[in-house]
Amino acid sequence: MAAPQDPEKPQDPQVRDLDARSLRGLAHPLRMQLLNALRFGGPATASQLAEKLGESSGATSYHLRQLAAHGFIEDAPEQGKGRERWWKAVHKGLRFDDALLRDPNPEVRGAADLYLHESATDQTRDLSTWLGNRHAWPEEWGRSWDMSSATLRLTPELTRELVEKMHAVIDTYRDRAAVDENDPDAAQVRIHTHAFPLTTE
């Protein structure tokens, strides 16, 4: 999930803004897992994704077609020579608008809530996978990862300022990212940011 769009900056065509219709097409646990698998793992077939996610190929085929109907994925004809259909993600990122949580349609609000909870579950799964597999990575990665938290007393305005600054720092590293796909020292690094109040009391 990408940071909210700054109206002063040009929109990134590689990041898709979720609207009510597209959100309802995406807000399903398996569809979100399939889209993430294609975004981060590259093109794949329904049977390959079924094996990876522990699902039936019939289920993955159906939900892949639904993702395609809503424009999240498309055919990858350059992959493979066989009869099986290959899929790839269309966009590199998604942008969620908080206004979807206040939509007058309860189905849209429900889809927005499911999307956020599934995103949170996915982020927790990412971290747990790293903790379980960190011994398999080179020592340099063992000294480079982070799992930290901080609790500050902030107003909503200061919290928003902090969030925007964190995203701005991350953006400065996009241009510095390793462009050589064969660089043995580079890996996909997942960065999660969370900022939320702890209690209403």
For 109-140, write each residue's pLDDT tens digit. 999 999 999 999 999 999 999 999 999 999 99
- Are the C-beta atoms of residues 112 and 106 closer than 8 Å to each other? no
Decide if pLDDT at 92 tops 90.
no
Write down how long the chain is.
Answer: 201
Q: Compute the distance between CA of residue 20 and CA of residue 119 in angstroms, rounded to an integer.
A: 17
Would you tell me which CATH number, out of the four given (2.30.30.830, 1.10.1740.10, 1.10.10.10, 3.80.10.10), belongs to the domain 15-138? 1.10.10.10
Categorize the per-residue pLDDT at 180 as very low, low, confident or very high, splitting at 50, 70 and 90: low
pLDDT digits (tens, 9 = 90+) for 153-172: 999 999 999 999 999 999 88
In this prediction, residue 11 carries a pLDDT of 54
Categorize the per-residue pLDDT at 13 as very low, low, confident or very high, splitting at 50, 70 and 90: low
Tell me what percent of the chain is helix, strand and coil, each rounded to the nearest 5.
Answer: 50, 10, 40
Decide if pLDDT at 81 tops 80.
no
Q: Compute the distance between CA of residue 6 and CA of residue 11 in angstroms, rounded to an integer.
A: 8
In this prediction, residue 179 carries a pLDDT of 65
In this prediction, residue 89 carries a pLDDT of 95
Q: Which regions of the chain does DSSP assign to beta strands (E)?
A: 15-17, 44-45, 73-75, 86-89, 93-95
| Token representation of residue 16 | 């898709």
Give the largest CA-CA distance in the chain.
61
